[in-house]
Amino acid sequence: MQTNFPASPPSLKDRAPYLVIGSGIAGLYTALELSKSGPVILITKSKLSESNTTYAQGGIAAAIGNHDSPELHYQDTIMAGAGLCVSDSVLTLVHEGPNRVKHLIDLGVPFDRSETNQLALTREAAHSRRRILHADGDATGREVTYSLISKVQTANIRIYEDHFALALIKQQGNCCGVITIHNDQYHSFLAAAVILCSGGLGQIYGKTTNPKIATGDGITLAYYAGAVLRDLEFIQFHPTALYLPPAPPFLISESVRGEGAILLNHKGVPFMSKYHPLAELAPRDIVARAIFAEIEKTGNDCVYLDLARIGVPTIKRRFPNIYNECASYGLDITTEPIPVAPAAHYAMGGVATDLFGRTNIPCLYAAGEVSNTGVHGANRLASNSLLEGLVFGGRIADHLQKLSLTIPEPHQEFEICYPKLYTLFESVESDLTKLHQITGHHLGIIRDQGGLSEAYDLLDLEPLANPKFQLKPDYFELQNMYLIAKLIAKSALVRTESRGGHYRSDYSKPKASWRKHIEFCGENMEVKE
């Protein structure tokens, strides 16, 4: 048992000009680009290949087709973002995206091609053009991850797997390293610049498409270091996750609907045209709420996704991963509709950054889902997430390579931004169940004043009076998730409207006066234009 965090950094494990935390597309690509100009430390809390990116099915959006343009991609992104996108960030994404994607191709990512060797492009919800590149049908994230890992492993990058990032280190206000837990021991790493690429927070929900590692650690690292967090109330629920208990939720890609699949209610009747003119291709938040409404109306636990229009050869070629996963549970998707229900999928909010990934803390950067660049606004456009990690990770690398950086010496004075610890209830397992009950009931697709207030009260825990704890990552992950859920509840209470991924039944319409952002810096909350 531990009684206190160490007052000074523990034994130095490594130091380098650059330190990247996380191994999704943002972390791998940023590290690879930075390694061109100096050594890079790459830390990941599990294995290198375990990230949200690996499980991404749909693909990467980029305006590279003959009938497409960055301007059209911009318009689609702005429309999906429901009035909260940052225009300059979106312009950066759509104009720089095509060249970054071409760089991925140069790095060996095997995107699917047509019989004439042209890149095969598909369409997803709220896109006006076919602009989604995919690989191995519906295994885009896996192919991107494996291609980047093969390059990272031979670059000037020192890789540390199974290192849980516990606390950032600062010196005279500048971020300069991280404390990790590995094999029940503390370790410290120092660097001239620290880049958070630690992914999402889906595991605060019981039903999520995210892997077990998505516990929001990067957001809490930044929070305790004094970084600004923005737009945390906006959570995207993917409309179609496999609902086949006891099987875990499994993402059924938006591309399935893009290729022609139809949503049916329990009577086998299509229903999406009642909710939006684009029907199955409406923005994700609208489709998710429509499915939720149908489930509530009928008392069933799910709706059904019928792939009959797609045809057997196309199903097996485009969606081999989904086909095989469903088959493993005895479901043949070429002859039977897929039972689906919404599940937590993506966080639009995160650590606030500028166009170069800079946070308000000098030398601390963020990219990917942990960040909030302003690209996604209140609702992410499908397949913009991998592109965002790629574009802004690349911009961080480009920016840092122009700077003259000094790596801190281990004997200097440091400030360690340890997390606060709170009194939970019984055990990690039972406390996680309690958290999932709170978030599922009150912070889900439909919210209201009473539920949000109850959630906030339940999540507002007392500080741990006698700090004794086991030095285990799952204990700190649980602490992180309770804090993040509390911040989401507080933001959702303050935003008295419905917009994008935040829907309140007691304020069911968007308000022009709420085209604003809610920010946290420590315990201080502020509403900003």
Alpha-carbon torsion angle 19, 24, 30, 33, nearest 10: 120
Q: Answer for the pair 20, 368: CB distance below 8 angstroms, yes or no.
A: no
Q: Answer for the pair 211, 55: CB distance below 8 angstroms, yes or no.
A: yes
Identify which of 422, 505, 502 has the alpha carbon closest to the alpha carbon of residue 237.
502
Distance CA 255, CA 360 (A): 37
Structure tokens at 179: 């404390």
Q: Answer for the pair 61, 383: CB distance below 8 angstroms, yes or no.
A: yes
Beta bridge partners of 390: none
Residue corresponding to tokens 């303050």: 494
Residue corresponding to tokens 């799910």: 302
Distance from first CA to last CA of the chain, Å, rounded?
46
Q: Is-catalytic flag, 284?
A: yes
Q: Answer for the pair 197, 27: CB distance below 8 angstroms, yes or no.
A: yes
CA–centroid distance for 48 within its chain = 17
Report whether the peptide linkage leading into residue 239 is cis, meaning its omega lies within 30 degrees of zero: no
- Say which of 284, 358, 447, 495 is annotated catalytic: 284
Question: How many CB atoms within 10 Å of residue 330?
Answer: 9
Structure tokens at 432: 């996680």
CA–centroid distance for 65 within its chain = 27
CA–centroid distance for 160 within its chain = 22
Long-range contacts (CB closer than 8 Å, 24 or more residues apart) made by 433-436? 433/206, 434/458, 435/204, 435/478, 435/481, 435/482, 435/485, 436/204, 436/205, 436/206
Residue corresponding to tokens 């122009």: 402
Question: How many CB atoms within 10 Å of residue 429?
Answer: 9
Q: Known catalytic residues?
A: 284
